């Protein structure tokens, strides 16, 4: 049975039931439906495609167990985005701790040798400092409220607003044409 036929034949409830039991075909169908969106989100938050791929793999390996916590309050896609966002934030925290222990700097800057890189929005977002990038992605791209972001990051709602505003200012500076 091919993935598209499974997705079309089974209701979402049946698909989730089979995925909870670890059915590889059901998990494959869920991956096909949500994998691309989750990879983009993970890449935007971490600033790294390879980190996002690792997170996506980890998410789907643990999905049968994770689905036991899914309560159907939000759509499955929205719930999975929240899981991926929390995983990506956790990955950033772990990397920061490792960098602090190693004494490495984690500032990211666009290469100044080629000013036209600033036109590429994805590269500009990736060049933002981590705290600004995470707040921007969660608020502007994923549509989370400042209260939700504050809860995810363990900061105040006001701090979320400041980080988001800082990101907007930084992007504006990166993307405006050179004068």
1-106 CATH, one of 3.30.565.10, 1.10.1740.10, 3.30.420.40, 3.90.650.10: 1.10.1740.10
What is the domain class of 108-179 according to CATH? mainly alpha
* Nearby residues of 76 by Cβ (< 8 Å), 6 or more positions away: 12, 16, 30, 34, 70
Q: What string of pLDDT tens digits covers the 179 residues of the chain?
A: 445 444 456 787 889 999 999 999 999 999 999 999 999 999 989 988 999 999 999 999 999 999 988 887 778 988 999 899 989 988 888 777 666 655 544 344 434 444 444 346 777 888 889 889 999 999 988 888 999 998 888 899 999 999 999 999 988 888 776 44
CA-closest candidate to residue 69, choices 113, 26, 27, 16: 16
Q: Residue ranges per domain, the chain? A: 1-106, 108-179
């Amino acid at each position: 049975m091919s993935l598209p036929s499974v997705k079309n034949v089974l209701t979402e409830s049946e698909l989730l039931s089979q995925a909870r039991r670890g059915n590889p075909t059901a998990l494959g169908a869920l991956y096909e439906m949500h994998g691309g969106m989750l990879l983009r989100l993970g890449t935007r938050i971490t600033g790294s495609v390879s980190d996002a791929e690792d997170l996506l793999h980890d998410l789907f390996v643990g999905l049968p167990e994770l689905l036991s916590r899914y309560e159907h309050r939000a759509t499955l896609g929205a719930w999975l985005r929240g899981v991926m966002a929390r995983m990506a934030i956790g990955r950033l925290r772990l990397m920061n701790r490792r960098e602090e222990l190693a004494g490495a700097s984690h500032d990211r800057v666009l290469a100044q040798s080629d000013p036209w890189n600033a036109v590429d929005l994805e590269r500009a977002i990736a060049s933002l400092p981590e705290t600004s990038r995470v707040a921007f992605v969660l608020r502007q791209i994923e549509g989370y409220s400042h209260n939700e972001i504050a809860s995810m990051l363990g900061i105040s709602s006001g701090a979320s607003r400041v980080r988001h505003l800082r990101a907007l200012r930084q992007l504006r500076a990166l993307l405006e044409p050179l004068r």
